Structure 1
Amino acid sequence: MDELDRRLLALLRADARAPVAALAAQLKVSRGTVQNRIDRMRERGEIQGFTVRTRPDVEAQRVRAIMTIAVEGESGPRVLRGLHGFPEVVAVHTTNGRWDLVAELDTGSLGEFSELLDGVRRIPGISATETSILLATTRL
């Protein structure tokens, strides 16, 4: 992946529905170059899909949060398998420091959020969690 690919990915993150011609104009390359690079990144798995971002008020009832997780001993793989069983866990990151894992959570309501917390905390191998609800987001 070179600098042009990274710039193209940045533009797609901002607006994945941007027309290829508009992307090409912003990058000062041909439309064919942009399309070929997108196709190549998809084939290599570097682009795994496209998503929709909504205004905060469109889905105001959604509850998004970050959960930090401490894992007992060598239980990391078991905990990861357990987390994969919850569709509301949208990403899991390994990290250093006090916490072993950081999970991104996205639920449709506070009730679903509460059930998710209970379910995650029952996964064998988790010794502690701390969860912060995301109240507002500023896109950069």
Structure 2
Amino acid sequence: MDSLDHQILAYLRSDARISAATLAKKLNVSRGTICNRISRMERNHHILGYTVRVQAESQGQEIAAWMSIAIEGHETSRIVHALSGEPAVWALHDTNGRWDLLAELRVTNISQLSDALERIRLIKGISATETSLHLKTLQLR
């Protein structure tokens, strides 16, 4: 990937719906160049997909929480597999430091959060957890 690819990605990160024609004009290259480079970045898995960021308030009364997870031994892949089937787990991140994984949890009420925490804590190989509620986002990119 070169400088132009990185510039394209920067624009796509801020607006994934930006047109190829607009990108071409902003970057002073042809529309075909933009389309070819985006296609290549998709094929090479530099671009994994496109998404929509939704304002939390538009989702209703959703509760978000962050669960830090410590894993015993070399059980990470098995635990990631187990967590992939947990309906409350919205995203899972590999980390370093005190915690091995960071799980983003989303539920509709406190009772569902409590049930999810209990199910996750019972997974064999998880040695400790710490959960924090997400109160609000202070800044978006």
Q: Same fold (TM over 0.5)?
A: yes
Q: In the TM superposition, what is the alpha-carbon distance from 1:99 to its structure 2 partner?
A: 0.8
What is the SS of the residue equivalent to 1:34?
helix
Identity %: 49
**Structure 1 runs not aligned, ≥5 long:** none
**Partners of 1:52 and 1:3 in 2: CA distance:** 25
Superposition map of 1:1-140 within 5 A: 1-137=1-137, 138-140=139-141
**Partners of 2:4 and 2:87 in 1: CA distance:** 34
- After superposition, what is the alpha-carbon deviation per residue over 1:82-106, rounded to whole angstroms, capped at 9, x for unaligned? 1111244233222221111122233
Moved over 4 A (4+): none
Contact 1:63 1:106 in 2 (8 A): yes
What is the SS of the residue equivalent to 1:29?
coil
What is the SS of the residue equivalent to 2:57?
coil
What is the SS of the residue equivalent to 1:12?
helix
Q: In the TM superposition, what is the alpha-carbon distance from 1:119 to its structure 2 partner?
A: 2.0
Letter in structure 2 aligned against 1:75: E
Contact 1:78 1:124 in 2 (8 A): no
**Partners of 1:33 and 1:109 in 2: CA distance:** 48
**Partners of 1:24 and 1:110 in 2: CA distance:** 48
